[in-house]
Protein backbone atom coordinates (compact mmCIF):
# COMPACT_ATOMS: atom_id res chain seq x y z
CA UNK A 1 0.00 0.00 0.00
CA UNK A 2 1.04 3.59 -0.70
CA UNK A 3 2.94 5.14 2.26
CA UNK A 4 0.75 8.21 2.59
CA UNK A 5 -2.43 6.15 2.54
CA UNK A 6 -1.02 3.70 5.08
CA UNK A 7 0.07 6.56 7.32
CA UNK A 8 -3.39 8.09 7.11
CA UNK A 9 -4.98 4.78 8.07
CA UNK A 10 -2.58 4.31 10.96
CA UNK A 11 -3.27 7.87 12.15
CA UNK A 12 -6.99 7.11 12.17
CA UNK A 13 -6.40 3.89 14.13
CA UNK A 14 -4.37 5.85 16.67
CA UNK A 15 -7.10 8.48 17.00
CA UNK A 16 -9.64 5.75 17.76
CA UNK A 17 -7.75 4.04 20.57
CA UNK A 18 -6.33 7.34 21.85
CA UNK A 19 -9.88 8.51 22.45
CA UNK A 20 -10.67 5.31 24.32
CA UNK A 21 -7.81 6.03 26.75
CA UNK A 22 -8.92 9.61 27.45
CA UNK A 23 -11.30 10.41 30.34
CA UNK A 24 -15.06 10.56 29.84
CA UNK A 25 -16.47 14.04 30.30
CA UNK A 26 -18.48 13.14 33.40
CA UNK A 27 -18.62 14.21 37.05
CA UNK A 28 -18.44 17.72 38.48
CA UNK A 29 -14.95 17.91 36.92
CA UNK A 30 -16.34 17.31 33.38
CA UNK A 31 -14.95 20.66 32.22
CA UNK A 32 -11.42 19.49 33.09
CA UNK A 33 -11.85 16.33 31.01
CA UNK A 34 -13.35 18.39 28.19
CA UNK A 35 -10.35 20.74 28.20
CA UNK A 36 -7.97 17.75 28.23
CA UNK A 37 -9.79 16.03 25.36
CA UNK A 38 -9.99 19.28 23.39
CA UNK A 39 -6.24 19.73 23.78
CA UNK A 40 -5.54 16.26 22.42
CA UNK A 41 -8.09 16.60 19.60
CA UNK A 42 -6.48 19.86 18.38
CA UNK A 43 -3.09 18.16 18.04
CA UNK A 44 -2.57 16.36 14.85
CA UNK A 45 0.08 14.20 13.35
CA UNK A 46 0.30 11.54 16.09
CA UNK A 47 3.90 11.10 15.10
CA UNK A 48 5.17 10.01 18.51
CA UNK A 49 2.56 7.29 19.16
CA UNK A 50 3.00 6.09 15.58
CA UNK A 51 6.77 5.74 16.03
CA UNK A 52 6.25 3.92 19.34
CA UNK A 53 3.83 1.43 17.79
CA UNK A 54 6.09 0.87 14.77
CA UNK A 55 9.12 0.27 16.98
CA UNK A 56 7.04 -2.24 18.95
CA UNK A 57 6.07 -4.00 15.70
CA UNK A 58 9.66 -3.87 14.43
CA UNK A 59 10.87 -5.85 17.46
CA UNK A 60 8.14 -8.44 17.05
CA UNK A 61 5.26 -6.95 19.08
CA UNK A 62 1.96 -8.14 17.63
CA UNK A 63 -0.76 -7.29 20.16
CA UNK A 64 -2.27 -4.09 21.62
CA UNK A 65 0.06 -3.96 24.63
CA UNK A 66 1.80 -0.84 23.29
CA UNK A 67 -1.41 1.18 22.90
CA UNK A 68 -1.58 2.58 26.45
CA UNK A 69 2.02 3.76 26.12
CA UNK A 70 1.40 5.31 22.71
CA UNK A 71 -1.64 7.10 24.17
CA UNK A 72 0.30 8.21 27.25
CA UNK A 73 3.13 9.58 25.10
CA UNK A 74 0.66 11.66 23.07
CA UNK A 75 -0.85 12.97 26.34
CA UNK A 76 2.61 13.98 27.55
CA UNK A 77 3.40 15.68 24.24
CA UNK A 78 0.03 17.48 24.36
CA UNK A 79 0.43 18.67 27.97
CA UNK A 80 3.79 20.17 27.04
CA UNK A 81 2.14 22.16 24.22
CA UNK A 82 -0.72 23.29 26.48
CA UNK A 83 1.69 24.62 29.11
CA UNK A 84 4.05 26.11 26.49
CA UNK A 85 1.12 28.08 25.05
CA UNK A 86 0.26 29.71 28.42
CA UNK A 87 0.50 33.50 28.76
CA UNK A 88 3.50 33.22 31.10
CA UNK A 89 5.32 31.07 28.53
CA UNK A 90 4.93 31.56 24.73
CA UNK A 91 1.49 33.22 25.05
CA UNK A 92 0.06 31.60 21.90
CA UNK A 93 -3.65 31.93 21.17
CA UNK A 94 -3.78 29.60 18.16
CA UNK A 95 -2.36 26.20 17.29
CA UNK A 96 -3.15 24.42 14.03
CA UNK A 97 -5.70 27.12 13.28
CA UNK A 98 -7.69 26.49 16.47
CA UNK A 99 -7.78 28.23 19.84
CA UNK A 100 -5.19 26.99 22.31
CA UNK A 101 -6.51 25.43 25.51
CA UNK A 102 -6.02 28.46 27.75
CA UNK A 103 -7.48 30.75 25.05
CA UNK A 104 -10.64 28.61 24.99
CA UNK A 105 -10.98 27.57 28.65
CA UNK A 106 -9.11 30.26 30.55
CA UNK A 107 -5.64 30.32 32.02
CA UNK A 108 -6.37 28.37 35.21
CA UNK A 109 -7.98 25.55 33.21
CA UNK A 110 -5.00 25.62 30.83
CA UNK A 111 -2.73 24.89 33.78
CA UNK A 112 -5.03 22.19 35.18
CA UNK A 113 -5.70 20.51 31.81
CA UNK A 114 -1.93 20.27 31.29
CA UNK A 115 -1.42 18.85 34.77
CA UNK A 116 -4.32 16.49 34.12
CA UNK A 117 -2.82 15.20 30.87
CA UNK A 118 0.61 14.62 32.39
CA UNK A 119 -0.84 12.82 35.39
CA UNK A 120 -3.32 10.86 33.29
CA UNK A 121 -0.49 9.59 31.11
CA UNK A 122 0.93 7.98 34.23
CA UNK A 123 -2.48 6.73 35.38
CA UNK A 124 -2.84 4.94 32.06
CA UNK A 125 0.71 3.59 32.16
CA UNK A 126 0.35 2.49 35.81
CA UNK A 127 -2.66 0.39 34.85
CA UNK A 128 -0.67 -1.15 32.02
CA UNK A 129 2.36 -1.82 34.22
CA UNK A 130 0.16 -3.54 36.84
CA UNK A 131 -1.31 -5.72 34.11
CA UNK A 132 1.77 -6.35 31.96
CA UNK A 133 4.81 -6.39 34.24
CA UNK A 134 8.52 -5.91 33.58
CA UNK A 135 8.79 -4.68 29.98
CA UNK A 136 5.91 -2.27 30.61
CA UNK A 137 7.78 -0.88 33.64
CA UNK A 138 10.87 -0.38 31.46
CA UNK A 139 8.82 1.44 28.84
CA UNK A 140 7.23 3.70 31.44
CA UNK A 141 10.60 4.57 32.90
CA UNK A 142 11.92 5.48 29.46
CA UNK A 143 8.98 7.81 28.81
CA UNK A 144 9.13 9.32 32.32
CA UNK A 145 12.83 10.20 31.98
CA UNK A 146 12.42 11.59 28.47
CA UNK A 147 9.60 13.88 29.60
CA UNK A 148 11.40 14.87 32.76
CA UNK A 149 13.78 17.11 34.54
CA UNK A 150 16.79 16.09 32.39
CA UNK A 151 14.65 15.69 29.30
CA UNK A 152 11.81 17.73 27.87
CA UNK A 153 11.28 20.01 30.87
CA UNK A 154 15.01 20.80 30.93
CA UNK A 155 14.80 21.73 27.25
CA UNK A 156 11.84 23.99 27.88
CA UNK A 157 13.62 25.61 30.85
CA UNK A 158 16.83 26.38 28.97
CA UNK A 159 14.86 27.56 25.93
CA UNK A 160 12.90 29.95 28.15
CA UNK A 161 15.97 31.21 30.00
CA UNK A 162 17.76 32.05 26.74
CA UNK A 163 14.91 33.54 24.75
CA UNK A 164 15.92 36.98 23.53
CA UNK A 165 19.59 36.35 24.31
CA UNK A 166 22.24 35.46 21.71
CA UNK A 167 22.61 31.66 21.47
CA UNK A 168 25.31 29.37 20.17
CA UNK A 169 24.72 26.25 18.09
CA UNK A 170 25.92 24.18 21.06
CA UNK A 171 23.19 25.69 23.23
CA UNK A 172 20.59 25.14 20.54
CA UNK A 173 21.65 21.48 20.32
CA UNK A 174 21.37 21.19 24.12
CA UNK A 175 17.83 22.59 24.02
CA UNK A 176 16.64 20.57 21.07
CA UNK A 177 18.10 17.27 22.24
CA UNK A 178 15.91 17.69 25.31
CA UNK A 179 12.91 19.62 24.04
CA UNK A 180 12.35 17.68 20.81
CA UNK A 181 14.61 14.65 20.46
CA UNK A 182 14.03 13.25 23.95
CA UNK A 183 10.37 12.35 23.32
CA UNK A 184 11.08 11.03 19.81
CA UNK A 185 13.90 8.85 21.17
CA UNK A 186 11.64 7.62 23.92
CA UNK A 187 8.98 6.66 21.37
CA UNK A 188 11.43 4.36 19.59
CA UNK A 189 12.94 3.03 22.81
CA UNK A 190 9.72 2.46 24.73
CA UNK A 191 8.11 0.62 21.81
CA UNK A 192 11.14 -1.59 21.44
CA UNK A 193 11.44 -2.16 25.21
CA UNK A 194 7.81 -3.30 25.33
CA UNK A 195 8.64 -5.95 22.74
CA UNK A 196 11.65 -7.06 24.80
CA UNK A 197 14.53 -5.30 23.02
CA UNK A 198 17.94 -5.47 24.71
CA UNK A 199 19.67 -2.46 26.31
CA UNK A 200 22.18 -2.49 23.41
CA UNK A 201 19.36 -2.26 20.89
CA UNK A 202 17.77 0.57 22.87
CA UNK A 203 21.07 2.40 22.78
CA UNK A 204 21.14 2.23 18.96
CA UNK A 205 17.56 3.48 18.85
CA UNK A 206 18.51 6.37 21.10
CA UNK A 207 21.10 7.50 18.58
CA UNK A 208 18.57 7.11 15.77
CA UNK A 209 16.04 9.16 17.75
CA UNK A 210 18.56 11.90 18.48
CA UNK A 211 19.45 12.27 14.82
CA UNK A 212 15.81 12.23 13.74
CA UNK A 213 14.82 14.64 16.51
CA UNK A 214 17.47 17.18 15.57
CA UNK A 215 16.62 16.85 11.87
CA UNK A 216 12.95 17.30 12.76
CA UNK A 217 13.67 20.47 14.76
CA UNK A 218 15.91 21.96 12.09
CA UNK A 219 13.18 21.24 9.53
CA UNK A 220 10.73 23.03 11.86
CA UNK A 221 12.99 26.08 11.90
CA UNK A 222 13.24 25.97 8.10
CA UNK A 223 9.46 25.74 7.69
CA UNK A 224 9.00 28.70 10.04
CA UNK A 225 10.79 30.94 7.53
CA UNK A 226 10.20 29.14 4.23
CA UNK A 227 7.02 27.09 4.74
CA UNK A 228 3.46 27.56 3.55
CA UNK A 229 1.16 29.19 6.16
CA UNK A 230 -1.92 27.39 4.82
CA UNK A 231 -0.32 23.95 5.00
CA UNK A 232 1.25 24.69 8.38
CA UNK A 233 -1.99 26.08 9.84
CA UNK A 234 -0.03 28.76 11.70
CA UNK A 235 1.65 32.06 10.82
CA UNK A 236 5.29 32.03 9.72
CA UNK A 237 8.13 33.83 11.51
CA UNK A 238 6.98 32.93 15.03
CA UNK A 239 10.61 32.36 16.04
CA UNK A 240 11.54 35.86 14.90
CA UNK A 241 8.52 37.29 16.75
CA UNK A 242 9.59 35.45 19.92
CA UNK A 243 13.21 36.56 19.42
CA UNK A 244 14.42 32.96 19.26
CA UNK A 245 17.70 31.89 17.77
CA UNK A 246 17.18 28.98 15.37
CA UNK A 247 19.36 26.77 13.21
CA UNK A 248 18.39 28.96 10.27
CA UNK A 249 19.63 32.15 11.94
CA UNK A 250 22.78 30.41 13.24
CA UNK A 251 23.95 28.30 10.28
CA UNK A 252 21.88 29.64 7.37
CA UNK A 253 19.07 27.94 5.45
CA UNK A 254 21.33 26.05 3.01
CA UNK A 255 23.45 24.38 5.68
CA UNK A 256 20.29 23.72 7.67
CA UNK A 257 18.79 21.89 4.68
CA UNK A 258 21.98 19.88 4.23
CA UNK A 259 22.10 18.93 7.92
CA UNK A 260 18.53 17.67 7.83
CA UNK A 261 19.39 15.41 4.90
CA UNK A 262 22.62 14.16 6.45
CA UNK A 263 21.12 13.40 9.87
CA UNK A 264 18.23 11.53 8.29
CA UNK A 265 20.55 9.46 6.14
CA UNK A 266 22.69 8.58 9.17
CA UNK A 267 19.59 7.70 11.20
CA UNK A 268 18.39 5.26 8.55
CA UNK A 269 21.87 3.72 8.24
CA UNK A 270 21.95 3.11 11.99
CA UNK A 271 18.45 1.68 11.94
CA UNK A 272 19.58 -0.76 9.29
CA UNK A 273 22.33 -2.14 11.55
CA UNK A 274 19.60 -3.69 13.73
CA UNK A 275 18.61 -7.32 13.01
CA UNK A 276 14.98 -6.34 12.46
CA UNK A 277 13.23 -4.34 9.79
CA UNK A 278 10.21 -2.10 9.56
CA UNK A 279 9.90 -0.49 6.16
CA UNK A 280 7.08 1.79 7.19
CA UNK A 281 9.03 3.12 10.18
CA UNK A 282 12.00 3.88 7.94
CA UNK A 283 9.79 5.74 5.48
CA UNK A 284 8.11 7.56 8.35
CA UNK A 285 11.41 8.78 9.75
CA UNK A 286 12.54 9.84 6.28
CA UNK A 287 9.27 11.70 5.71
CA UNK A 288 10.26 14.05 8.53
CA UNK A 289 12.86 15.49 6.17
CA UNK A 290 10.54 16.01 3.25
CA UNK A 291 7.45 17.21 5.15
CA UNK A 292 5.94 20.56 4.24
CA UNK A 293 3.81 20.96 7.39
CA UNK B 1 9.53 7.97 73.47
CA UNK B 2 7.34 11.06 73.58
CA UNK B 3 5.11 11.35 70.48
CA UNK B 4 6.15 14.89 69.56
CA UNK B 5 9.83 14.06 69.87
CA UNK B 6 9.41 10.90 67.83
CA UNK B 7 7.48 12.82 65.17
CA UNK B 8 10.21 15.43 65.01
CA UNK B 9 12.86 12.75 64.59
CA UNK B 10 10.86 11.03 61.87
CA UNK B 11 10.34 14.36 60.09
CA UNK B 12 14.10 14.91 60.10
CA UNK B 13 14.68 11.41 58.73
CA UNK B 14 12.19 12.12 55.94
CA UNK B 15 13.87 15.42 55.12
CA UNK B 16 17.19 13.64 54.73
CA UNK B 17 16.08 10.94 52.29
CA UNK B 18 13.66 13.31 50.54
CA UNK B 19 16.63 15.50 49.65
CA UNK B 20 18.52 12.48 48.31
CA UNK B 21 15.66 11.79 45.88
CA UNK B 22 15.51 15.37 44.57
CA UNK B 23 17.56 16.43 41.52
CA UNK B 24 21.02 17.92 41.87
CA UNK B 25 21.21 21.55 40.82
CA UNK B 26 23.46 20.87 37.84
CA UNK B 27 23.34 21.30 34.07
CA UNK B 28 22.05 24.26 32.10
CA UNK B 29 18.66 23.54 33.70
CA UNK B 30 20.06 24.03 37.25
CA UNK B 31 17.58 26.85 37.88
CA UNK B 32 14.68 24.43 37.32
CA UNK B 33 16.10 21.99 39.86
CA UNK B 34 16.74 24.87 42.27
CA UNK B 35 13.12 26.03 41.97
CA UNK B 36 11.88 22.45 42.51
CA UNK B 37 14.09 21.94 45.55
CA UNK B 38 13.13 25.34 46.96
CA UNK B 39 9.46 24.43 46.61
CA UNK B 40 9.94 21.20 48.55
CA UNK B 41 12.13 22.85 51.18
CA UNK B 42 9.48 25.53 51.90
CA UNK B 43 6.84 22.85 52.61
CA UNK B 44 6.87 21.55 56.09
CA UNK B 45 5.08 18.86 57.98
CA UNK B 46 5.87 15.89 55.71
CA UNK B 47 2.58 14.43 56.88
CA UNK B 48 1.86 12.42 53.73
CA UNK B 49 5.26 10.69 53.45
CA UNK B 50 5.15 10.02 57.19
CA UNK B 51 1.73 8.35 56.91
CA UNK B 52 2.93 6.30 53.93
CA UNK B 53 6.01 5.06 55.81
CA UNK B 54 3.98 4.26 58.93
CA UNK B 55 1.40 2.31 56.93
CA UNK B 56 4.27 0.38 55.36
CA UNK B 57 5.67 -0.40 58.82
CA UNK B 58 2.20 -1.28 60.15
CA UNK B 59 1.85 -4.01 57.52
CA UNK B 60 5.27 -5.42 58.27
CA UNK B 61 7.51 -3.41 55.95
CA UNK B 62 10.98 -3.16 57.48
CA UNK B 63 13.33 -1.86 54.77
CA UNK B 64 13.71 1.36 52.76
CA UNK B 65 11.55 0.22 49.83
CA UNK B 66 8.83 2.75 50.70
CA UNK B 67 11.16 5.75 50.66
CA UNK B 68 10.95 6.53 46.92
CA UNK B 69 7.16 6.46 47.14
CA UNK B 70 7.11 8.67 50.24
CA UNK B 71 9.41 11.12 48.44
CA UNK B 72 7.29 10.97 45.27
CA UNK B 73 4.12 11.65 47.24
CA UNK B 74 5.67 14.74 48.82
CA UNK B 75 6.75 15.93 45.35
CA UNK B 76 3.18 15.50 44.09
CA UNK B 77 1.78 17.36 47.09
CA UNK B 78 4.33 20.12 46.57
CA UNK B 79 3.67 20.51 42.84
CA UNK B 80 -0.04 20.94 43.61
CA UNK B 81 0.76 23.78 46.02
CA UNK B 82 3.14 25.42 43.53
CA UNK B 83 0.50 25.42 40.78
CA UNK B 84 -2.31 26.43 43.19
CA UNK B 85 -0.26 29.46 44.21
CA UNK B 86 0.10 30.71 40.59
CA UNK B 87 -1.39 34.09 39.66
CA UNK B 88 -4.07 32.43 37.46
CA UNK B 89 -5.11 30.24 40.42
CA UNK B 90 -5.02 31.48 44.06
CA UNK B 91 -2.35 34.11 43.38
CA UNK B 92 -0.56 33.62 46.70
CA UNK B 93 2.80 35.30 47.26
CA UNK B 94 3.65 33.66 50.60
CA UNK B 95 3.44 30.17 52.06
CA UNK B 96 4.70 29.33 55.55
CA UNK B 97 6.15 32.82 55.76
CA UNK B 98 8.31 32.39 52.66
CA UNK B 99 7.90 33.47 49.06
CA UNK B 100 5.95 31.05 46.89
CA UNK B 101 7.82 29.52 43.96
CA UNK B 102 6.41 31.82 41.28
CA UNK B 103 6.92 34.85 43.54
CA UNK B 104 10.61 33.94 43.85
CA UNK B 105 11.40 32.50 40.41
CA UNK B 106 8.78 34.06 38.13
CA UNK B 107 5.54 32.69 36.78
CA UNK B 108 6.99 30.61 33.93
CA UNK B 109 9.39 28.87 36.31
CA UNK B 110 6.50 28.31 38.73
CA UNK B 111 4.70 26.38 36.01
CA UNK B 112 7.83 24.44 35.00
CA UNK B 113 8.91 23.66 38.58
CA UNK B 114 5.43 22.25 39.25
CA UNK B 115 5.54 20.18 36.05
CA UNK B 116 9.04 19.08 37.00
CA UNK B 117 7.99 17.91 40.47
CA UNK B 118 4.99 15.97 39.15
CA UNK B 119 7.06 14.30 36.45
CA UNK B 120 9.99 13.67 38.77
CA UNK B 121 7.68 11.89 41.21
CA UNK B 122 6.99 9.41 38.43
CA UNK B 123 10.65 9.23 37.41
CA UNK B 124 11.51 8.21 40.97
CA UNK B 125 8.62 5.75 41.18
CA UNK B 126 9.44 4.25 37.76
CA UNK B 127 12.95 3.49 38.97
CA UNK B 128 11.51 1.84 42.07
CA UNK B 129 8.96 -0.18 40.08
CA UNK B 130 11.68 -1.45 37.72
CA UNK B 131 13.72 -2.51 40.74
CA UNK B 132 10.98 -3.81 43.04
CA UNK B 133 8.18 -5.24 40.89
CA UNK B 134 4.52 -5.92 41.56
CA UNK B 135 3.75 -4.28 44.92
CA UNK B 136 5.64 -1.19 43.83
CA UNK B 137 3.52 -1.03 40.67
CA UNK B 138 0.37 -1.26 42.83
CA UNK B 139 1.61 1.57 45.05
CA UNK B 140 2.43 3.75 42.07
CA UNK B 141 -0.99 3.18 40.58
CA UNK B 142 -2.65 4.16 43.86
CA UNK B 143 -0.68 7.41 44.04
CA UNK B 144 -1.24 8.19 40.33
CA UNK B 145 -5.02 7.80 40.64
CA UNK B 146 -5.20 9.82 43.85
CA UNK B 147 -3.30 12.70 42.30
CA UNK B 148 -5.24 12.49 39.08
CA UNK B 149 -8.18 13.47 37.02
CA UNK B 150 -10.73 11.85 39.37
CA UNK B 151 -8.68 12.72 42.44
CA UNK B 152 -6.73 15.80 43.44
CA UNK B 153 -6.91 17.60 40.09
CA UNK B 154 -10.69 17.06 40.00
CA UNK B 155 -10.93 18.61 43.48
CA UNK B 156 -8.88 21.59 42.39
CA UNK B 157 -11.00 22.01 39.25
CA UNK B 158 -14.35 21.94 41.07
CA UNK B 159 -12.99 24.20 43.81
CA UNK B 160 -11.89 26.70 41.18
CA UNK B 161 -15.15 26.54 39.23
CA UNK B 162 -17.21 27.23 42.35
CA UNK B 163 -15.09 29.91 44.02
CA UNK B 164 -17.24 32.96 44.67
CA UNK B 165 -20.47 31.00 44.08
CA UNK B 166 -22.74 29.70 46.85
CA UNK B 167 -21.78 26.11 47.74
CA UNK B 168 -23.59 23.26 49.47
CA UNK B 169 -22.05 20.92 52.02
CA UNK B 170 -22.40 18.12 49.47
CA UNK B 171 -20.27 20.08 47.01
CA UNK B 172 -17.70 20.90 49.68
CA UNK B 173 -17.47 17.18 50.52
CA UNK B 174 -17.00 16.40 46.82
CA UNK B 175 -14.16 18.90 46.59
CA UNK B 176 -12.43 17.90 49.80
CA UNK B 177 -12.66 14.16 49.22
CA UNK B 178 -10.65 14.80 46.07
CA UNK B 179 -8.52 17.81 46.92
CA UNK B 180 -7.42 16.73 50.40
CA UNK B 181 -8.53 13.21 51.29
CA UNK B 182 -7.41 11.54 48.09
CA UNK B 183 -3.68 12.04 48.74
CA UNK B 184 -3.99 11.16 52.44
CA UNK B 185 -5.88 7.97 51.53
CA UNK B 186 -3.26 7.14 48.97
CA UNK B 187 -0.51 7.57 51.56
CA UNK B 188 -2.08 4.90 53.76
CA UNK B 189 -2.96 2.62 50.85
CA UNK B 190 0.32 2.89 48.96
CA UNK B 191 2.36 2.21 52.10
CA UNK B 192 0.26 -0.83 52.91
CA UNK B 193 0.27 -2.07 49.30
CA UNK B 194 4.07 -1.92 49.25
CA UNK B 195 4.12 -4.23 52.28
CA UNK B 196 1.73 -6.62 50.52
CA UNK B 197 -1.63 -5.67 52.06
CA UNK B 198 -4.74 -7.26 50.50
CA UNK B 199 -7.33 -5.31 48.50
CA UNK B 200 -9.77 -5.70 51.43
CA UNK B 201 -7.27 -4.14 53.79
CA UNK B 202 -6.65 -1.29 51.32
CA UNK B 203 -10.39 -0.69 51.22
CA UNK B 204 -10.51 -0.25 55.01
CA UNK B 205 -7.56 2.14 54.81
CA UNK B 206 -9.38 4.11 52.13
CA UNK B 207 -12.26 4.71 54.51
CA UNK B 208 -9.84 5.66 57.27
CA UNK B 209 -8.11 8.08 54.93
CA UNK B 210 -11.36 9.65 53.82
CA UNK B 211 -12.45 10.31 57.40
CA UNK B 212 -9.05 11.67 58.37
CA UNK B 213 -8.86 13.77 55.22
CA UNK B 214 -12.22 15.40 55.81
CA UNK B 215 -11.42 15.98 59.49
CA UNK B 216 -8.09 17.48 58.42
CA UNK B 217 -9.77 19.86 55.96
CA UNK B 218 -12.48 20.92 58.41
CA UNK B 219 -9.74 21.61 60.97
CA UNK B 220 -7.99 23.69 58.31
CA UNK B 221 -11.14 25.75 57.82
CA UNK B 222 -11.45 26.20 61.59
CA UNK B 223 -7.83 27.32 61.93
CA UNK B 224 -8.33 29.83 59.11
CA UNK B 225 -10.83 31.73 61.28
CA UNK B 226 -9.77 30.80 64.81
CA UNK B 227 -6.08 29.87 64.55
CA UNK B 228 -2.90 31.69 65.52
CA UNK B 229 -1.23 33.56 62.64
CA UNK B 230 2.24 33.17 64.13
CA UNK B 231 1.91 29.40 64.58
CA UNK B 232 0.28 28.99 61.17
CA UNK B 233 2.88 31.14 59.42
CA UNK B 234 0.22 32.68 57.18
CA UNK B 235 -2.52 35.29 57.56
CA UNK B 236 -5.98 34.22 58.78
CA UNK B 237 -9.19 34.64 56.79
CA UNK B 238 -7.69 33.64 53.42
CA UNK B 239 -10.89 31.70 52.62
CA UNK B 240 -12.97 34.82 53.19
CA UNK B 241 -10.58 36.85 51.07
CA UNK B 242 -10.85 34.26 48.29
CA UNK B 243 -14.66 34.12 48.67
CA UNK B 244 -14.56 30.42 49.45
CA UNK B 245 -17.35 28.57 51.21
CA UNK B 246 -15.95 26.45 54.04
CA UNK B 247 -17.33 24.02 56.61
CA UNK B 248 -17.24 26.86 59.12
CA UNK B 249 -19.42 29.12 56.98
CA UNK B 250 -21.77 26.23 56.06
CA UNK B 251 -22.25 24.37 59.35
CA UNK B 252 -20.82 26.78 61.93
CA UNK B 253 -17.69 26.46 64.02
CA UNK B 254 -19.25 24.35 66.80
CA UNK B 255 -20.59 21.66 64.51
CA UNK B 256 -17.33 21.79 62.57
CA UNK B 257 -15.38 21.11 65.79
CA UNK B 258 -17.72 18.22 66.63
CA UNK B 259 -17.41 16.70 63.15
CA UNK B 260 -13.61 16.75 63.37
CA UNK B 261 -13.76 14.83 66.65
CA UNK B 262 -16.33 12.33 65.41
CA UNK B 263 -14.56 11.57 62.12
CA UNK B 264 -11.24 11.11 63.91
CA UNK B 265 -12.79 8.74 66.44
CA UNK B 266 -14.40 6.71 63.64
CA UNK B 267 -11.13 6.61 61.72
CA UNK B 268 -9.24 5.18 64.68
CA UNK B 269 -12.02 2.63 65.34
CA UNK B 270 -11.77 1.43 61.74
CA UNK B 271 -8.00 1.30 61.93
CA UNK B 272 -8.31 -0.93 64.99
CA UNK B 273 -10.36 -3.49 63.05
CA UNK B 274 -7.21 -4.37 61.10
CA UNK B 275 -5.09 -7.27 62.37
CA UNK B 276 -2.01 -5.05 62.65
CA UNK B 277 -1.12 -2.17 64.91
CA UNK B 278 0.95 0.98 64.68
CA UNK B 279 0.59 3.12 67.77
CA UNK B 280 2.53 6.04 66.29
CA UNK B 281 0.32 6.11 63.18
CA UNK B 282 -2.80 6.17 65.35
CA UNK B 283 -1.43 9.05 67.39
CA UNK B 284 -0.36 10.84 64.22
CA UNK B 285 -3.85 10.62 62.73
CA UNK B 286 -5.39 11.79 66.01
CA UNK B 287 -2.96 14.69 66.18
CA UNK B 288 -4.57 16.08 63.04
CA UNK B 289 -7.58 16.95 65.19
CA UNK B 290 -5.66 18.67 67.93
CA UNK B 291 -3.10 20.50 65.79
CA UNK B 292 -2.86 24.26 66.09
CA UNK B 293 -0.93 24.82 62.84
Q: Which of A167-171, A232-236, B54-58, B82-86 has the lowest mean pLDDT?
A: A232-236
Q: Which residue of B has its CA nearest to A91?
A: B108
Contacts of residue A137 in chain B, CB cutoff 8 Å?
126, 129-130, 137
A291 or B249, greater pLDDT: B249
Looking at the predicted structure, is the pLDDT value of residue A229 above 90? Answer: no
pLDDT at res. B96:
84
CA-CA distance, A166 to A169, in Å (whole number)?
Answer: 10
- Model confidence over A26-73: pLDDT tens digits? 999 999 999 999 999 986 899 999 999 999 999 999 999 999 999 999
Q: Which residue of A has its CA nearest to B116?
A: A149
Which of A147, A151, A176 is closest to A244 using CA atoms?
A: A176
pLDDT at res. A235:
76
Cα A117 off chain centre by = 14
Which of B111, B140, B290 is closest to A110 using CA atoms?
A: B111
Mean pLDDT computed over A141-168: 95
Query: Quick one: pLDDT band at residue A126, thresholds 50, 70, 90?
Result: very high
CB contact under 8 A, A147 and B119: yes
CB contact under 8 A, B32 and A154: yes
pLDDT at res. A231:
77
Mean pLDDT computed over B262-266: 92
- Model confidence over B156-184: pLDDT tens digits? 999 999 988 888 999 999 999 999 999 99
- Model confidence over B177-209: pLDDT tens digits? 999 999 999 999 999 999 999 999 999 999 999
pLDDT at res. B232:
75
pLDDT at res. A238:
77
Q: How far apart are the first and last CA of chain A?
A: 23
Backbone φ and ψ of A95, nearest 5°:
-145, 130
- From B23, B111, B141, residue closest to A149, measured CB to CB: B23
Query: Quick one: pLDDT band at residue A178, thresholds 50, 70, 90?
Result: very high
Looking at the predicted structure, is the pLDDT value of residue A5 above 80? Answer: yes
Mean pLDDT computed over A163-183: 92
Contacts of residue B120 in chain A, CB cutoff 8 Å?
148-149
Contacts of residue B159 in chain A, CB cutoff 8 Å?
none
pLDDT at res. B241:
76
> Is the ipTM here above 0.90?
yes
CA-CA distance, A223 to A256, in Å (whole number)?
Answer: 11
Which of A148, A154, A149, A141 is closest to A69 using CA atoms?
A: A141
pLDDT at res. B290:
73
pLDDT at res. B205:
97
Cα A48 off chain centre by = 5
Contacts of B120 (CB under 8 A, 6+ apart): A148, A149, B22, B23, B36, B72, B75
Residue B138 backbone class (left: φ over 0; alpha: ψ -120 to 50; beta: rest): alpha
The Cα of B38 is separated from the nearest Cα of chain A by a number of Å equal to: 15
Query: Quick one: pLDDT band at residue B235, thresholds 50, 70, 90?
Result: confident
pLDDT at res. B15:
97
Looking at the predicted structure, is the pLDDT value of residue A89 above 80? Answer: yes
Query: Quick one: pLDDT band at residue B106, thresholds 50, 70, 90?
Result: very high
pLDDT at res. B165:
87
pLDDT at res. A125:
98
Please report, for residues A230, B73, B75, B212, the alpha-carbon distance to residue B66 in angstroms, rounded to integers and kept in the order given.
53, 11, 14, 21
Which of B25, B37, B144 to mutate to test binding with chain A, by most A CBs within 10 Å of its CB?
B144
- Model confidence over B130-164: pLDDT tens digits? 999 999 999 999 999 999 999 999 999 999 999 88
CB contact under 8 A, A129 and B141: yes
pLDDT at res. A101:
98
Which of B22, B125, B7 is closest to B66 using CA atoms?
A: B125
Query: Quick one: pLDDT band at residue A254, thresholds 50, 70, 90?
Result: very high
Gyration radius (Cα) of chain B, Å: 18
Amino acid sequence: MDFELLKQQKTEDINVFLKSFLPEETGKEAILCEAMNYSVAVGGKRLRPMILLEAYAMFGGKDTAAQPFAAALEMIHTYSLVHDDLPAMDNDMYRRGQLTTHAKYGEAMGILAGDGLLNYAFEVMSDAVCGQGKNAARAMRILAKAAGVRGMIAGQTVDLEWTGKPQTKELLDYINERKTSALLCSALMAGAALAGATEEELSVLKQVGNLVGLAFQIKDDILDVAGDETKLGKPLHSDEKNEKSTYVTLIGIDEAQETVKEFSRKAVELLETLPYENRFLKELLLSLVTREY
